[in-house]
Amino acid sequence: MFYNNAVCDIYIGKRAGAKLLQDIRNAKTNVKIVSPYLSPSLIKELIFLHSKGIKISLITSDEIEDFYGNDKNINKLIVQKRHTDEKAKQSRDGLISLSGTLLFTMIGLAIVLAPLIFLLKEWKFAYGFILVVLLFFVRDFIVRQIKNKRIYYYTYKQLFPFKVFISPNIENNSFNKTFVHSKIYVIDDEIAYMGSLNFTAKGLKDNHETRIRTSDPVAVAKIVEEVNEVFFNSNLAERDLQFWGSQLYMEPIN
């Protein structure tokens, strides 16, 4: 896009994101962000805004975080939902019941056979322990079946709408040749920022950055249009949410 004669404020230097973060925190309806890199602490800001009912849209790359600090929050943007296979659960529960019955039978036989052998000196009853051993192996097989029985499967959804495009910097990437390197921030479709600063702690606070801020209605409308175009119609390859979720979360099978 190109737009001429927009009225804007210009800032160059450190802490270029101070005003940006203030405007984001004061958002009333929505925030749109395009940033190839993110900091965990700032992801937390978006999660907080989402909890207040602010509509968030995020575009980033699969290089994701700069790991500024010890916290990691990207997994909090992906919500895991566990589903139960009822037929498999019924089958497992039946195996558990059978395992319990076999254990009770083994103990009962051992309790009966031991006095017959040692008190009555009837050594022929020792053959009964062959049955106990067989039951042990049968039960052991059933216990392994129980442990390996998958009754849960998982799906994942986004906490709020976001796109994670595959970076061309990733080795052997044959999907994307375009890297969405833009840094764009739109608050309430009324204020827009553009410049060099990523949505990272270093970008907002420490680095020497450039940024412009505009509330020019025509300029902001065109910027919103561009962000929506990238979000909905870029045709760039994205991280698969279901696969990614399976990498971030544990998935116990039962």
Residue 39, pLDDT score: 87
* More confident position, 247 or 195: 195
Would residue 73 count as lying in a domain?
yes
**Which residue's entry shows tokens 């009324």?**
190
Mean predicted confidence (pLDDT) in 166-188: 79
Same domain, 175 and 208: yes
Residue 3, pLDDT score: 73
Same domain, 218 and 181: yes
Same domain, 139 and 164: no
Model confidence pLDDT, tens digit, residues 224-236: 999 999 999 988 8
Count the domains in the chain.
2
Would residue 200 count as lying in a domain?
yes
Would residue 113 count as lying in a domain?
yes
Residue 199, pLDDT score: 93
Mean predicted confidence (pLDDT) in 99-110: 90
Reported as a pLDDT band with limits 50, 70 and 90, residue 122 is low
Question: Do 30 and 56 touch, CB atoms closer than 8 A?
Answer: yes
Would residue 253 count as lying in a domain?
no
Same domain, 178 and 137: no
Same domain, 69 and 130: no
Reported as a pLDDT band with limits 50, 70 and 90, residue 209 is very high
Mean predicted confidence (pLDDT) in 201-225: 93
Return the H-helix or E-strand segment holding 191. Answer: strand 191-195
Residue 239, pLDDT score: 84
H helical segments located in 119-250: 128-147, 201, 217-233, 241-248
- CA 211 from chain centre, in angstroms, equals 31
Would residue 206 count as lying in a domain?
yes
Residue 220 burial (C-beta neighbours within 10 Å; 0-12, 13-18, 19+): buried
Q: What percent of the chain has pLDDT over 90?
A: 59
Would residue 94 count as lying in a domain?
yes
Same domain, 141 and 48: no
pTM: 0.77
Residue 34, pLDDT score: 96
Would residue 107 count as lying in a domain?
yes
Tell me which residue range forms the domain holding 131: 86-149
Reported as a pLDDT band with limits 50, 70 and 90, residue 130 is confident
Same domain, 42 and 58: yes
Mean predicted confidence (pLDDT) in 220-224: 95
Angle between helices 40-51 and 18-25 (to 10 degrees): 20
Residue 229's CATH number: 3.30.870.10
Same domain, 65 and 174: yes
Cβ neighbors of 149 (< 8 A, separation 6 or more) are 88, 91, 92, 95, 253, 254
Same domain, 204 and 163: yes
* More confident position, 229 or 239: 229
Same domain, 122 and 218: no
Distances in Å between the Cα of 132 and the Cα atoms of 6, 100, 114, 125, 212 are: 87, 14, 12, 12, 81
Mean predicted confidence (pLDDT) in 27-38: 95
Average pLDDT, the chain: 88
Question: Do 208 and 13 touch, CB atoms closer than 8 A?
Answer: yes
Same domain, 204 and 226: yes
Residue 115, pLDDT score: 77
Reported as a pLDDT band with limits 50, 70 and 90, residue 245 is confident
Return the H-helix or E-strand segment holding 212. Answer: strand 209-214
Same domain, 66 and 184: yes
Residue 191, pLDDT score: 97
Among 123, 149, 175, the domain-final residue is: 149
**Which residue's entry shows tokens 């760039």?**
236
Mean predicted confidence (pLDDT) in 154-181: 81
Q: What percent of the chain has pLDDT over 70?
A: 89
Would residue 243 count as lying in a domain?
no
